[in-house]
Structures are given as structure tokens and as C-alpha cells.
Amino acid sequence: MIEFPRDPQNIIPTSSVKIVGLGGAGTNMLDRVALDGLDGAELLALNTDIRTLSASVAKERVQLGRNLTKGLGTGGDPELGNQAVMEAEDEIRASLKGRRIVFICVGLGGGTGSGAAPIVARIAREEGAFVVMFATMPFGFEGRRRREQAETALNELAVLSNALVTFDNSRMGELVLAKQGIHEAFAAADRMISESIKAVIRLVVRPGLINVGLDDLMSALRTTRSRCLFGSGIARGKDRAQKALRNALGSPLLDQGALLKDAQTVLVHLCGGEDLTLFEIELLMESLGKHVPETAQVLFGAAVDPGMSDQLSITLVSSLPEERLRRTMPDEEYRRSTPSLEPSVGFAAAAVAEDPEEAVEEKHEPEAEPPRSEQSGFSPVEEPVSPFDAEEGETEEGQAEPESPPTDEKAPAESEPEKPPVAEKKVLPIDDLPDLPEIDDLEEAAELADESEAKAEDKPSDPEEEIEDLDVPFAEAPPGPRGKAAAKPETGKEPEADSQGDLEPGSKPERKAAREPKGESDESLFSSPKAGQGELTFDSGPKGRFEGSDPSLVDGEDLDVPAFLRRKR
Ligand SMILES: Nc1nc2c(ncn2[C@@H]2O[C@H](COP(=O)(O)OP(=O)(O)OP(=O)(O)O)[C@@H](O)[C@H]2O)c(=O)[nH]1
């Protein structure tokens, strides 16, 4: 039997590990970890919102901003989150004292998590802990403000934490069907995060045949702005090694392994029952080698856990700098089978260069996304388009998809993919739109309203012009006060309206129309020479038989009288 070196110094007892859930999302992630079962590690929940805090399964809970927010959340204000955590600094410090490794789970974009995470990371570092941050980035549809708040916090966390693992909620939305609600998407994201936390803890905590240390983890998850590549798979029975690898590579964070092509360091951890063989390990590593560049440093760890019985698990951890991720793309065939839900993050780039380096050199523009209809394994329903997409610098080009890979003669960045007409862009049917998170529906609505207000100021003040712009999305609305909308497509004016937002319910146009003082604007609409459709009034018209015509009598029944009235008689 092969003797593997064991370094007892490298093993961290679970008692010196603390997992912190911060803010609403962080607390949910923490609960997920607890529910999935993680022996030994202590859990600490931190939140301003006393309602969610008290519902957490964590034994230790600390309320933030007791005097400041008085048990409520921060309403999406990171400044308040920052002040709130200061109030509880001593309690947090006491709870983290003596820990060797602290995992912090947080959803960035809101107030508590974004404002407090840098402070909690600093306290943990000051207490001598190795800090691994698991942070989610908001869904694309949550709007620009949340994304910016998240980015700001992320920049701070990149400096303050030892290892930063970011998950894009949008990306993890792929774990659920497009038609499923937001809760399922969050739950799926939480499961994935919980899986990776557990896998990382397994790596550094569980004594193994070949141990992986914190230094290895750190080099796999660099602290610079990088995106975590994570995959974990488990299988049993014949071919379990191949199956486990396939499952691990199937993680949406790995794009079937395509993203590993650019990784510089990959951490691989295997865990099996007592029947784990060297042959299986070799087989697995050989297969993995096809997905990892030859120059990559592969950090390998393996453990035997009798509890695994006949199962074999593999965990892959790596990272890719965001810059690189944005510009590197899987090959054409692969892109068709791996949809991205987050165009603004640019997981799917526009052009394919044989050499990823080439893509980095040449592609500096917003990148295109494959049309959903061509992507397999996913509902053809289009995701809702954020009303803020246009503001975020997202151009229609950014969403266009070249029909075929660019040729060698033409540099990818220069190739002009044929843009699909904007009118073809499908809008998710209202019934299929995901529910917004309950937590801050109202404040989100207020934020959206404010931003809409700001946008409205840039628009022409003439109500007619405004209505003209806003009407396009309602092209299929029934005629009436919006009669002009129905007439709109004939004017042939369609593309600009799309930049106004693709018209999720409750977006600017709808709200604005709802707020508009009815009489005046409707009147001006109908008196306008452009508005060729009047209102059909029902009061003055003849009912039943037309004047001057003979009754239609059949067997003594007047068929011009509505059937239900005839029956009454
Ligand atoms: N993965 C996951 N993400 C979530 C969940 N809830 C919210 N989020 C994300 O996390 C971000 C921050 O939300 P919260 O954690 O509720 O906000 P907070 O940090 O508590 O801040 P305030 O509520 O504003 O005080 C949101 O914008 C979502 O993108 C969840 O249950 N799971």
C-alpha cells in the first residue's frame, strides 16, 4: 500500500471553525448549511432584522444596530449596515476569538450585508482567523443600485478576506427552471453555496490521506477580484469515478468544465469509502486532465471516510479573474448548451477566438449572448429584461448572437453580428415572471419608482411624446384609453422604445400611466390628430334589434333579444 504523508499540523479541528451568516441572505445560507448537516462547526447569525434573526437555526445570534434600526432591516442602505455592525463589534469579536478559520456568508446588494461584511471580515482577521468569504451577487433584475452596492462591497472584501468566493445569483438561477419562482432560485443558490462551504470545510478540516491546507485553498481562490469555479459530484457503483467527475463538471459554475480551461490553479479533493482504489484516483485525474491546462497547478487531496461506504465524491475548486471570465468563452457548441441568465455580467462572450488569450486581446466590447431558443436544456421562455439594462451600458449588441463563429479573417471584436430586430425579443408572459423577494418588495418598489422618476426627467416633457414612447410595449393591449398603443406598430417605430425597459409589469411605463391624471391626458390623446381611434360608448347605441330591421323570429322566439333575456321570460 502506498504511504501518503500526513501532517497533523495541517489539520484544523472543527471547534476552531466558525461559520457566520450575515444579513437576510447570509442567515438563509447559514440555515441551509445547518439543515444540510455539518458536524462540529459553530454557527453565528448576524442581522439587523430581528424577525429573520430570531427564526435562524443558529445557536448564536447577534442583533446588529439595536439602537439604530430597532429590529428592522436597513432598507437597503449599506451606510446604515455599516453603523449597525459597529454597535455590536464587541459581541462579534468575543464570538470570533480564537477561531482559526471563519467562513462568512453574505448576500451583497442590500444594506446589512454589504455595509457590515467588510467590518466583520476585519474583526475576524484582527482576531487572527483565516477568512473565507462566500458572497452572492444580486440577480440582474434587482437593478443597478443593488449591483453597484454589491460591487463596492466586493472591492472592499477582496482586500479584507483571505479567500473570496463569489457566486452570481443569476448564474445559479440556471439551477432552476425559468418558470420557477424566485424562492426556488434562492433556495437552489443556497444549496449550491452550502455545498461549497461544506466541501471547502471538508478539504481543510477533515484529516485525509493527502491533506489540503489553507495555503492551498488560498492559492486556488485568489483574493483578487475573481469568480469562484466550483463543482462537486458524488456517485456510487460501477464507473463511479467517471460519474462523480461528470457530476462535478456539470456545476453551472464550471460550465461543464469549459471554464477550467483557463484556470491556473485547481484544487481537487477526492473522498471515498474504504474501498477507494488508487486505480480510480488515477482514472479520475486522467479524465480531469482533459479539462485543465497542462500548465495549471493541480493541488490534490484525498480522504477516506468509512461513512462514504461505496460512494466516491470529487470536489473541484478554482477561480478565474473576472476580467478573464468576461472575455473567455466556451466554444460555440458549448455555448449553445450553456445558457447564461446574466447578460450584464458577460459570462457568454460575443466572439469565439480559438485561443482565449486572443479573445482577451481583441474583445473589449459588450459581449453577446446566445439566443435562448437555441440553447438546450432550458425553457425557451425569455427571462425578464431589467428596466435598467440600457442604463447599465447594455446595448442591444450586447445581447446579439452571431449566427456562426467569426472567421479568421475578421477579428472577433470587429465582426458585426447580425442583430435580431428588437421587436423579436420576447418578453416573459406576466404569469411566468418570478415573484420578487418578499423581504423588501416595498422598498425595492420605492427604489424603482425613484429611478423611474429620475429617468422621466430626461424624457421630453410633452405628454404625447412620452406616451408615444411608452406605448410600444403595450402593443397588444386592448384598445381603449391605450388605443394608440394598438395602432403603434403600424408607425414602424419600435426599437427605441425597448431601451425604455422591456416592460416588466410595474415598470416605469405601467406605473407612470397609472399615476397619470386620467381625464386630461386621455383627452389630449384623443383630441390629437395622431390618435385616430375614439372611444366606443355603449350607452347611446341600440340594443338588440337594429333600428328599422325586421325581427328574426324563429318558432316564435325573437333571436335579436339576447339569449339570457329570452330564457328569463
Ligand atoms: N442566495 C440567496 N440570495 C439572497 C437571498 N435573499 C436575498 N438574497 C440576495 O442577497 C441580496 C441582499 O439581500 P438581504 O441579505 O436580504 O439584504 P441585507 O443584507 O439583509 O440588507 P437589508 O435587508 O437591506 O438590511 C439580495 O439583493 C439578493 O440578491 C437568499 O435567500 N439566498
Segment 4-35, tens digit of pLDDT: 444 444 555 666 889 999 999 999 999 988 88
For the Cβ of 412 lying below 6 angstroms from any atom of ligand 1, the answer is no
Q: Say if CB 293 and CB 235 are below 8 A apart.
A: no
Mean pLDDT of the chain: 63
Cα 138 versus chain centre, distance = 6
Centre of ligand 1 to C-alpha 168, Å, is: 12
pLDDT at position 161 over 70 = yes
> What's the CA gap between 452 and 311, in Å, rounded?
54
For the Cβ of 149 lying below 6 angstroms from any atom of ligand 1, the answer is no
pLDDT at 50: 95
Centre of ligand 1 to C-alpha 59, Å, is: 21
Nearest by Cα to 86 from 108, 57, 62, 104: 62
Q: pLDDT (tens digit, 9 = 90+) per residue, 299-348?
A: 888 888 888 888 998 888 887 766 555 554 333 333 333 332 222 222 21
Q: pLDDT (tens digit, 9 = 90+) per residue, 95-129?
A: 999 998 899 999 999 999 999 999 999 999 999 99
CATH label, 9-205, candidates 3.40.1180.10, 3.40.50.450, 3.30.479.30, 3.40.50.1440:
3.40.50.1440
Which stretches does DSSP call E strand in 7-41?
17-22
pLDDT at 65: 95
For the Cβ of 186 lying below 6 angstroms from any atom of ligand 1, the answer is yes
For the Cβ of 190 lying below 6 angstroms from any atom of ligand 1, the answer is yes
- Cell representation of residue 209: 490521506
- Cell representation of residue 269: 479533493
Residue nearest to atom 19 of ligand 1 (CA): 113
For the Cβ of 83 lying below 6 angstroms from any atom of ligand 1, the answer is no
Nearest by Cα to 138 from 129, 128, 146: 146
Mutate to test the pocket of ligand 1, among 29, 57, 85, 112 (most ligand atoms within 8 A of CB): 112
Q: 432 pLDDT band (50/70/90 cuts)? A: very low
> What's the CA gap between 511 and 514, in Å, rounded?
5
Centre of ligand 1 to C-alpha 23, Å, is: 7
pLDDT at 559: 67
pLDDT at position 553 over 50 = yes
Q: pLDDT (tens digit, 9 = 90+) per residue, 404-417?
A: 333 333 333 333 34
216-220, 342-346, 488-492, 525-529: range with lowest mean pLDDT = 342-346
pLDDT at 448: 47
Considering 112-116, 384-388, 446-450, 485-489, the range whose residues carry the highest mean pLDDT is 112-116
pLDDT at 443: 46
Q: Say if CB 46 and CB 92 are below 8 A apart.
A: yes
- Cell representation of residue 38: 455539518
Higher pLDDT, 493 or 545: 545
What Å distances lie between residue 282 and 242, 258, 288, 395, 484, CA to CA? Answer: 11, 21, 10, 47, 69
Strand partners, 42: 18
For the Cβ of 76 lying below 6 angstroms from any atom of ligand 1, the answer is yes
For the Cβ of 121 lying below 6 angstroms from any atom of ligand 1, the answer is no
pTM score, whole prediction: 0.56
- Cell representation of residue 422: 428588437
Which residues does 304 contact at the CB level (< 8 Å), separation at least 6? 208, 209, 271, 272, 273, 274, 276
Centre of ligand 1 to C-alpha 98, Å, is: 29
Sequence ranges of the binding site: 24-28, 111-113, 142, 146, 190
Structural domain spans, the chain: 9-205, 459-527, 543-569
pLDDT at 323: 59
Nearest-atom index, ligand 1, CA of 81: 25
Which residues does 97 contact at the CB level (< 8 Å), separation at least 6? 127
Centre of ligand 1 to C-alpha 28, Å, is: 9
pLDDT at 391: 34
Q: 212 pLDDT band (50/70/90 cuts)? A: low
Centre of ligand 1 to C-alpha 429, Å, is: 26
Sequence ranges of the binding site for GTP: 24-28, 111-113, 142, 146, 190
Length of the chain: 569
Q: How many CA atoms lie within 13 A of 177 on its CB side?
A: 6
Higher pLDDT, 427 or 275: 275
- Cell representation of residue 232: 462537486
